[in-house]
Amino acid sequence: MSAPSLIVRRFGVLDYHPVWQAMRALVAAPDALADDEIWFLEHRPVFTLGQAGRREHLRDPGGIPVVASDRGGQVTYHGPGQLVAYLIVDLKRRSLGVKRLVHGLEQAVIDLLGASDIEAVRWNGAPGVYLGGKKLAAIGLRIRNGFSYHGLAVNVNGDLGPFKRIDPCGYAGLEATRLKDLGLDWSVAETATRLLPYLAAQLGCPAESIVLDHKTTLGDICGPSPPHAGRNIVVGADG
């Protein structure tokens, strides 16, 4: 039997809610997922609360929508200029546990930066990637029917101002940083291209198993969007 492929899709800039619902729909019917997938995209501005999210960590959201998500973790921000990599992966097929997957996502970013002679680190008990006490990348996952979904967010060149409106990942005073501030003048698309081989390596995917799909749209995957899917839904932390 041939090894499963890793399908890599690029979706551009999308609202959070329809992407989240598309991932949920896929993992709800795992028998239809013959291969694993990575979705690279950016989101329009949104704060998301994880399952353990506490609304007091949303100190001043202002006009930015807030979505109570089903991922792990506390509160974070997504917006243009940030690379989001969502991983829809059969953990058993890849011989991965949750902790190993989180470690692998961190290591992929650490290795990416290491290739440019920049030393990044992980913090025990605080998933993500850090430099000089500032957070560059956030990780939040959910496992359902043996599949992971949600994933990784890396600040590339976007506005970091919204992070000052929250306690990022539940840590008061934690500052964010971005690749641009590290002297890496990459676009979001270039960052995705550079990050992909490191992610694939952590998933145990040989280069020949990677299939690049730049044509499929989110609508092709999940069908027509429901009436609310073009906007973010503002809900409470218990929603």
Residues 6+ apart with CB under 8 A from 173: 167
pLDDT at 229: 38
Residues 6+ apart with CB under 8 A from 226: 21
Amino acid at 52: A
SS3 96: coil
Determine the longest span between alpha carbons in the chain, in angstroms: 53
Closest CA to 193 of 138, 117, 112: 112
Q: Based on C-alpha coordinates, what's the Rg of the chain? A: 17
Q: What is the pTM of this model?
A: 0.90
Q: What is the pLDDT of residues 42-86, one digit of tens each?
A: 999 999 988 877 787 888 888 999 998 999 888 999 999 999 999
Looking only at the bridges linking them, the beta strands covering 66-68 and 46-49 are: parallel
Mean of per-residue pLDDT scores for the chain: 89
Looking at 66, 85, 108, 169, which residue is catalytic? 169
Domain span at 214: 6-222
Residue 36 belongs to a domain:
yes
Q: What is the pLDDT of residues 153-202, one digit of tens each?
A: 999 999 999 999 988 878 888 999 999 999 999 999 999 999 999 999 99
Closest CA to 170 of 138, 132, 136, 133: 138
Query: 230: pLDDT confidence band, cut at 50, 70 and 90?
Result: very low
The DSSP output letter for 181 is G
Residue 209 belongs to a domain:
yes
169 labelled catalytic: yes
pLDDT of 221 > 70? The answer is yes
Residue 22 belongs to a domain:
yes
Residue 182 phi, psi dihedral angles, 5° rounding: -95, 5
Mean pLDDT across the stretch 98-102? Answer: 96
pLDDT of 233 > 50? The answer is no
Q: What is the CATH number of the domain that holds 61?
A: 3.30.930.10
Tally of domains in the chain: 1
Amino acid at 178: R
Residue 176 belongs to a domain:
yes
